[in-house]
Amino acid sequence: NRSNVEQSLLYFYPGAAGRQRCSESIRKIASNPAGISPDCYTGTWGVSTLPDVDGIERELYLDFDENNNGLIPVPKIYFRVVIDRVTREGIVLIGINNPYLTLEQIQKDYILCQDIGHQLSWLTWYKEDLHEGYSYACSVEDFIEVVKDLPLEDLHTNGILGLDDVTTVEPSTTESSTTTEEPSSTTSTEIPSTTDTTPSSTSVSSTTEEPSSSTASPTTELPTSTVISTTEPPTSTVTSTTKPPTSTVASTTEQPTSTVTSTTEPPTSTVTPTTEPPTSTVTSTTEPSSSTTLEPTSTTSSSTTSQPTLSTEESTSTSPTSTSTSSPPVTTANPIANPCRFSTNGDLKDPAPLLTPQGALSWLLPDESGLYTVEDGSSIDLHCTGALVSPFNRYTALSARCVGDQLYEAEGQLVNIRGFVCQSWPTYAAVRSGQSCAGGTDVVHIGFDVAAGFLSHVELCYDQQEQISRYARYELTPANVAYQKGVAQPGYLRGDFYSGEDVNVLYDQSHQLDAFSTALGLDASQYFDSTKDLYLTRGQLAARLDFVHSSAQRATHFYVNAVPQWRSINIGNWLAVESSLKQFVADEALNVSVHAGSYDISTLPNSQGVQTPLYLNAETKQLPVAKILYRIVIDQESRKGVVLIVVNNPHITLTETLEDYVICEDVGAQIDWLDWDKANLQKGYSYACSVEDFIEVVKDLPTDQLQTTGILGLTDQILDNEVCSFKVNGDLKDPAPLFVVRSELGHARYLEPNQEGVVQLKHGEALEFHCINSFSGPFSGYTFVNSTCWQQQSILAMGSLYQLQDFVCTSWPTYTARRSGRPCNGGTDLLEVGFQLSSSSSDDFLQTYDVCHDELSEVTRYVHHVLYPGSDQYQRSVSRPSFIPGDFYGGKDVNTLYTQVQQNITVSEILGMDASPYFNTTGNVYLARGHLSAKTDFVFGAAQKASFFFVNAAPQWQTFNGGNWERIEDSVRKFVADENITVDCYTGTWGVSTLPDVNGIGRELYLDFDENNNGLIPVPKLYFRVIIDRESRNGIVLLGVNNPHATIEQIEEEYIICQDIGAQLSWVSWTKEDLKKGYSYACTVEDFTAVVKDLPLQDLFVDGVLGV
């Protein structure tokens, strides 16, 4: 603020800086209309203090002499006296040099003179910001009554410099003056005559609450000429008083001291005094009375401007007599409506008075755009808890009547709305009502004590024992969205609460750290990081920006309206709830009641891992850190309601949040007007509940006021026909989780896409996401998430809506191959390959394929998996992992056995010769790890990766692997999609390939041998795939020869084991008789199983041939 003051001075007073002449700067800023040459006296006064270890205030110095006298004191205040050389007008600008003070301390010890700073609009300061330096301004005369260390002889002034002008327009009527006697002086006040041709039905009155050493009876000063109506007074009256004069005013008039007596039709006649009107006694046709006024210093109209009767009113006074005669009625045309309008932002001048409807002690509100409209002839009431600025500086309240053209008549003056300004901000108070409340010791009202009564603002339920407010109650209307912007935030007030405790110290960040460390028995610094907004702040219940008027906003700054809230949450989802709710109320044109409160106490683990409640005052266990903050919102017309809840603990996991902090059924996903980051833990995990659900848990509420007829704000969108859909290719983010659905019996199975590769779910249909290890992003720490389809790619999980791409794993789900304990034909055990979904239940297994494996011979007889119409739309570009042995092959390095160098060595040993002529790397003539269930037979990336077990592979010549066998795999997937069928696939190997040894004798080929020289991991003679349509039970077997070195004669003699019907299969895109690509053929299932028995024959019955 010192910088702001200096910059403002350099603008208003060109070139001012310290005590110097400013002529040169005037030339530099010649365009400045002020054009003045001030003397500036800038100095310091007093010594700042801070409390010592015993709480005793100690003065602050930077050094001490040998006698321990303080040197280089830290000033209490900085000041700048500025006096214009020409006009001798002056001003003093003062700033407090202690950011650790409370507002109470400042007001008690640091305000040296009457503050007039609010009348200086040219100053760009944040006047009452304690951190930037609470600042104020005084007249020079007031200031030097206290501060004497100045050249006083040079500081005489003729007025105050830089005060804002208040534009007033005198009515174009006959002016008259009233001269009154007073004991020590004579004051002459100009009073406008009562000539009025504008229709009106409002009163102009004023009130005050300021004490005076003099007595005044009555409290209303009579105008020079007053028209008293004989009509019946209105039921709503406006108090009218003035700031009492210093002399005694005696009156014999029987006259109410606080009411406006009537409101009648607009006058059509003119009342003109026949003489210069002195202070007079007015005789009314209703109740004659006379009064003697010794000292009127201003004119007050005691009526709300009524149409007089056609009669002559006589007035008698103790001084020269004057007669007021009403003229005959004048016929006028119908008046044209000319309302007065002003905006919340831009048209009011702070500190603005409190605005209420005429005669009603309730807030005057604008429309949702922030525009106030006062009809021509209507009035509003304005209140200051102190006095208004000139020309209304005798009054603490006024009634102002719109007379059109954006002008208001008040106390005989015509002014713009900006002419009504308080001398200081209206003072707000927090008052105990004497009543208790559920969960609290006191009902507390925050508001303004004005002359007309108490203007209530917020109702609180406060618990003195725990020093926490359970809830704050107030109302929101469409007007609240148009709150006044740029209002300076004052410091927080303790009021008559907290037993004298300095609450500001409790909120200090260093104190928070100490309190947490003490409570938890460990260094709590891990929980605090100001750069990430991880510290506790004053979290308002009734939010400052939920109120339109600047003073109403400032009145929220009581500690009883705040609870300890993590700042990241305060400026995160709690702020989002506040702003979204205001906008929703405006958009839907609602009037809602709000109960904003806190519930329970947040915890963190102590040094032993035990969850420990957190308090700002750990010693007394007071000022608890709220567990959740909430807003109960109920529409006053429909009685529908909703509770918006924000978790107040950024240090817990999502699991802990859902288990301990979600206390009612979350309906937040059905509310589309909330602009929150719902599941962001650092911003405050948020959710919404019905009022009924919420108050089943939270009892510290006036439940009799919270009855509802339904849930407020749910989306009107009909979702029953909505569908979630996503493309397997393009819409997933890898490493993607497993997408799991359940059968009616609860068995896990893969989600299936359609033939176009699109997955579709109906609204409300369940979908599980599994990572096996952990999710990243919003579900970090979770291994699986249950969800339901909402719409499109929106998924409802944990009460919040997420997009599909929010579900991402930290790594690909871990797959496993396990023994089932069931036998299979030709094998030692039937293995299951897939994903263990639950660590607590071995039955919760997502099976991808099963394997009949012979662990003795280390050979797989067959692998069974299922192909669907959508299988051909498998996820592309999934990286290939390395093959793994799992819990098989006796721990040997199978990968090494498959290397091309080792193959050559092994086969050379089998043949007793150099086997290099049988291998050609550039021609793909080598043994590869040949998939049985192909990688691309599985749709999703995780399942594809699970195909990389050695038990799902056999040594396959690469020319065949990348030749006809690949054509068979692709053709089967395409055929299944084209025919829209679901098939069981049994893919296996049969026999052992041979090559002639050095003596020309065919030798079986293996990759390894046991200690008895028995061959292990044989090179198969044939690969086959049995395909059976589940619905029709038609089947076919496709076979391929796994030996590019076999001749056609050998093939026909040794490798064709059933009648070939391959010529009848037009859908297989093979080069059927290409020996290098792998001679291939097809058979019926019956023919094939007559030879090959290592299969689940009981499952292979068929009713016909598939695909011919």
In this predicted structure, the answer to whether residue 242 has a pLDDT above a threshold of 50 is no
What confidence category does residue 1080 fall into, taking pLDDT thresholds of 50, 70 and 90?
Answer: very high
What confidence category does residue 273 fall into, taking pLDDT thresholds of 50, 70 and 90?
Answer: very low
For residues 267 and 615, the model is more confident at: 615
Point out the least confidently predicted range of 322-326, 848-852, 986-990: 322-326
Which residues partner with 1104 through β-bridges?
1034
- pLDDT computed for residue 213 by the predictor: 35
Sheet with 271-273, edge to edge strand ranges: 271-273, 322-326, 312-316, 281-282
- pLDDT computed for residue 324 by the predictor: 35
In this predicted structure, the answer to whether residue 507 has a pLDDT above a threshold of 90 is yes
SS3 1046: coil
For residues 335 and 354, the model is more confident at: 354
In this predicted structure, the answer to whether residue 187 has a pLDDT above a threshold of 60 is no
Answer for the pair 475, 576: CB distance below 8 angstroms, yes or no. no
Which residue ranges are tagged as binding site?
A: 961
Q: How far is CA 854 from CA 323, 821, 857, 989, 1009, in A?
A: 128, 13, 6, 12, 15
Point out the least confidently predicted range of 255-264, 393-402, 910-919, 1030-1039: 255-264
What confidence category does residue 676 fall into, taking pLDDT thresholds of 50, 70 and 90?
Answer: very high
How does the average pLDDT of the chain come out, rounded?
A: 83
- pLDDT computed for residue 98 by the predictor: 94
Cis peptide before 753 (omega within 30 of 0): no
- pLDDT computed for residue 994 by the predictor: 96
Q: How far apart are CA 123 and CA 138, in angstroms?
A: 14
- pLDDT computed for residue 65 by the predictor: 82
- pLDDT computed for residue 5 by the predictor: 56
Q: How far apart are CA 657 and CA 252, in angstroms?
A: 74
Q: How far apart are CA 44 and CA 75, in angstroms?
A: 6
- pLDDT computed for residue 6 by the predictor: 53
Q: 46-60, 299-313, 424-438: which has the highest mean pLDDT?
A: 424-438
In this predicted structure, the answer to whether residue 766 has a pLDDT above a threshold of 50 is yes
In this predicted structure, the answer to whether residue 893 has a pLDDT above a threshold of 90 is yes
- pLDDT computed for residue 35 by the predictor: 61
Query: What is the mean predicted confidence (pLDDT) over 784-794?
Result: 92
Query: What is the mean predicted confidence (pLDDT) over 262-274?
Result: 36
Query: What is the mean predicted confidence (pLDDT) over 1088-1107?
Result: 96
In this predicted structure, the answer to whether residue 64 has a pLDDT above a threshold of 70 is yes
Handedness of CA 306, 309, 312, 313 (dihedral sign): negative
Which residues partner with 1025 through β-bridges?
987, 1038
In this predicted structure, the answer to whether residue 235 has a pLDDT above a threshold of 50 is no
- CATH 3.40.570 intervals, the chain: 428-711, 858-1105
Point out the least confidently predicted range of 525-534, 798-807, 1019-1028: 798-807
- pLDDT computed for residue 336 by the predictor: 59
- pLDDT computed for residue 1059 by the predictor: 97
- pLDDT computed for residue 1 by the predictor: 66
Query: What is the mean predicted confidence (pLDDT) over 199-206?
Result: 36
Residue 94 has which token pair?
A: 């003062």
- pLDDT computed for residue 269 by the predictor: 35
Q: Which residues of 612-646 are buried (b: 16+ CB within 10 A; e: fewer)?
A: bebbbbbeeebbbbbbbbbbbbbbeeeebbbbbbb
- pLDDT computed for residue 112 by the predictor: 93
Answer for the pair 203, 240: CB distance below 8 angstroms, yes or no. yes
Class at the top of the CATH hierarchy for domain 858-1105:
alpha beta
Provide, rounded to the nearest whole percent, the portion of the chain with pLDDT above 90: 70
Handedness of CA 342, 346, 349, 354 (dihedral sign): positive
What confidence category does residue 253 fall into, taking pLDDT thresholds of 50, 70 and 90?
Answer: very low
Residue 297 identity? T
- Give the phi and the psi of residue 231 in degrees, each rounded to 5: -80, 165
In this predicted structure, the answer to whether residue 873 has a pLDDT above a threshold of 90 is yes
In this predicted structure, the answer to whether residue 202 has a pLDDT above a threshold of 90 is no
From the list 306, 325, 226, the residue with the least C-alpha distance to 267 is 306
Residue 999 identity? N
SS3 5: helix
Query: What is the mean predicted confidence (pLDDT) over 1033-1062?
Result: 96
- pLDDT computed for residue 335 by the predictor: 52
In this predicted structure, the answer to whether residue 449 has a pLDDT above a threshold of 80 is yes
- Residues whose CB falls within 8 Å of the CB of residue 609, separated by 6 or more in sequence, listed in order: none
- Residues whose CB falls within 8 Å of the CB of residue 716, separated by 6 or more in sequence, listed in order: none
Q: How far apart are CA 847 and CA 749, in angstroms?
A: 7
Q: How far is CA 221 from CA 170, 232, 303, 359, in A?
A: 20, 22, 12, 20
What confidence category does residue 119 fall into, taking pLDDT thresholds of 50, 70 and 90?
Answer: confident
Kindly report the CATH number that applies to the domain delimited by 428-711: 3.40.570
What confidence category does residue 781 fall into, taking pLDDT thresholds of 50, 70 and 90?
Answer: confident
What confidence category does residue 956 fall into, taking pLDDT thresholds of 50, 70 and 90?
Answer: very high
- pLDDT computed for residue 707 by the predictor: 95
State how beta strands 758-762 and 723-727 pair.
antiparallel
Annotated catalytic residues are 931
Q: How far is CA 65 from CA 50, 51, 76, 903, 919, in A?
A: 21, 22, 21, 94, 98
